[in-house]
Every structure is written in C-alpha cells, then in structure tokens.
Amino acid sequence: MADTLTPTALTLKDIAREAGVSLATVDRVLHNRPGVRPDTVRRVKEAIARNSFQPHVAAAELARGRARRFAFVMPSGPNPFMQQIEAYLGEMAAWLSARRLKVEMVATDVFEPAALAASLEALSGDYDGVAVVALDHPSVRAAINDLVDAGTKVVTLVSDVPSSRRHHYVGIDNIAAGRTAGALIGRLVGQRSGKVAIVAGSQGLRDHAERIFGFNQVMATEFPNLSVLPVLEGRDEDERSEQMLARLFGGHADIVGLYNVGAGTQGVAKALNDKALSETGRDKVVFVGHDVTALTRRLLLQGLMDAAISQNPGHEARAAVRVLLALARGEPILSEQEKIRIDIVMRDNLP
C-alpha cells in the first residue's frame, strides 16, 4: 500500500510547449513580469495550473547567479536571549554558505526609536531581506514601510510592529504567553491565597505590556484567591529590579507568586533568595519568568524558579532566515512550520 504524495515532475519547457509559447514567456508569467499580452498570460497560467507545475528551486537558484543578502538588526547590549539568537545564526554558517546566502548582523539601540529607524533606512537597497527586533514606534513603522516599498522583504523578530506593512512576524503571541504564566502561577500556588508580584522592564515595551495584560486577564477571572500587586518597572536591570523587589517583599508578608516579565533575572532571583533565607519554614514563592538562558536554567535546576515561558531562540533564528528566503524566492511560507510556540520549560523538560 504505497500512496505517492508527489506526482512526476514537469519542466518549464513542457509548459512552454503545452501553452504554445517560448521558455522566456513562461518565465515572465511565472514571475509576474510585464510585457506579456493578457491573453497569453491566461493561456500560460492555465497550463501551469492544469499540470500543477512546480519550478525546480535548485535550477532557479543556480540560474540567478548573485547571492542573496539578508541583514539582522538586533539590539546592542548584553541581552542573553538576543545573544543566543546570534549564536544560532552563527551555527548556520555552513548551511547558509552552501546556499550562497549572506547574513549580516547590525547592532543598534533598541530603546532609541530614532536610532533604530536610522539603522533601517541605511539598509535600503543593499539587502534582499531584513529581520528586525523592532520597537513599536511611528518612526520605526515608517522606516519599515520604506524598506518594503523599496522591494526589501521585512520580517519583525521577537517583537512586532503590527501596524507596519512588514511581510511576516517571527515570534510568540505575547498575550498568550502572559496568560500561560498566570495560569502556571495560579495552579502551582494551589489552595493558598495571597499576593502576586510582577516585575517588568517597562510597560512601554509592547511585548512586556502584552504579557502583563494576558497575565492579569487570567488572574482576574480564574484565581480570585490571588491579588496582583502594581507592576514594578526594573528596566531590565539587575540592581534596580532587586531593590524594588526587596522593598516590596518588606511591605507585604503574604506574597505567594512572582512573575518576571523581562530580563533583570539576576536581581529578581537575588531578592527572592534573600527573602527565602530570612524566613525559613515559610511556603515557597512560586516564581515564573521568561526564556531559558544559562541563568534561568540554573535557577530551574535549583528549584528557586518554577517555570520559564520560552520562545526557542534557535527556532526563531532559523525561521527568520527561512521566511526571508521563501519571501525572496516568492515561495509560499509553511506557516505551521514557522510559527513560534510558547514553550513551558520546567526542570524536567529543560532542552
């Protein structure tokens, strides 16, 4: 019982013969290039459809000659998650080079819309595709639209600018991520009641704001035993986060859960650990954060952290490249494959 999923392959020439035109004309129709009479277009398109013809990617790739260039615009600074994405891109070197693809990194300041926009504008014309960790700001939106208008394929990475005309977003649904964090804390706290603390980088960052929104949604509707404290804004900095949190712990004896929305994990963990040491015997605070890094991995193994909501950085790096390549080639995108899932990582399923 062998059922073939793929029919036998035809070539451009077969289609040309069937439509009664030349190779070049089929090629023009295939790529929506101008200079073909509407009636001819129709005939060719019919022949293509009738045979469900698929051009051979390898032949197309070989024939075009020049390599494709992609730029990755990433935040400068020591964000471990972003460094992981860059590292995974580096691991693809052989894969990229066997396909004659060139990927270049461009570092820029994420918290400065003007700087980001300028970096993007500077890329215009030089690249076939651009992946950008974007800030949702009017000037960034404009820069993205300009690139798109110039024919560059653009994907937003990790953080989206939905109002722009970017071709694709590679990243997670942050509202769902926040809901997931909320549900985990709620469930892991169990019967107890008390307060839940939130530490974020800034509520001005779109992804952070969305996560908090999702988190509160779940808390309000499903865990009446828990009350959420006002969000602390630690700017993703260790010391600031630690101090704010230590003060909060001082003021509230009944904190049973802690959600760390962004980075600054070192400081958050420190504050939590100090609290645990000073009050032996108390119930542990349930601690959920984001992303699997060297640090969060250690905290999970130690048991100080209970779960990390994670978006696989390797998958994001590869998906961004594949999507840019598919867009550049005019191929359809395997949306199921390129969708980034929200991973729940606990000690026993650490990747």
Q: Which residues ranging from 61 to 100 are in contact with DNA (CB under 7 A)?
A: 62-65
Residue 4, binding choice from a copy of itself, DNA, none, Cβ under 5 to 8 Å by partner class: a copy of itself
Quote the Cα angle for 78-262-265, to 5°: 70
Q: Which tokens in the block code for residue 66?
A: 């020049």
Least distance CB 188 / a copy of itself (angstroms): 6
260's tokens: 């760390």
24 binds, options DNA, a copy of itself, none, Cβ within 5 to 8 A by partner type:
DNA
For a copy of itself, the closer of residues 176 and 229 by Cβ is 176
By CB under 7 A, the count of residues binding DNA is 27
List 75's β-bridge partners, or say none: 108
Which residue, 93 or 220, is less far from a copy of itself as judged by CB?
A: 93
- CB 306, CB 196: distance < 8 Å: no
* C-beta closer to DNA: residue 28 or 141: 28
Closer residue to a copy of itself (CB): 117 or 245: 117
3-state secondary structure of 305: coil
Give residue 338's Cα distance to chain centre: 10
Contact string 4-23 vs DNA (x = CB under 7 A): -----xxxxx------xxxx
Residues 37-56 that bind DNA (CB under 7 A): 37, 40, 55-56
325 near DNA, judged by CB under 7 A = no
- The tally of CA atoms less than 13 A away on the side-chain side of residue 161 is 25
80 contact choice in DNA, a copy of itself, none (CB below 5 to 8 Å, kind-dependent): none
Partner whose footprint covers residue 229, from DNA, a copy of itself, none (CB < 5 to 8 Å by kind)? none
Q: How far apart are CA 206 and CA 204, in angstroms?
A: 6
Q: What b/e string do you get for 204-213 counting C-beta neighbours within 10 Å, with b at 16 or more? A: ebbbbbbbbe
The DSSP 8-state label assigned to residue 331 in this structure reads: P
Which of a copy of itself, DNA, none binds 136 (CB below 5-8 Å, type-dependent)? none
| DSSP classification of residue 232 | E
The item of DNA, a copy of itself, none sharing an interface with residue 2, based on CB under 5 to 8 Å by kind, is a copy of itself
Contact 196/182 with Cβ under 8 angstroms?
A: no
Residue among 266, 270, 264 nearest 249 (CA): 270
Residues that bind DNA (CB under 7 A): 9-13, 20-25, 27-28, 30-31, 35-37, 40, 55-56, 59-60, 62-65
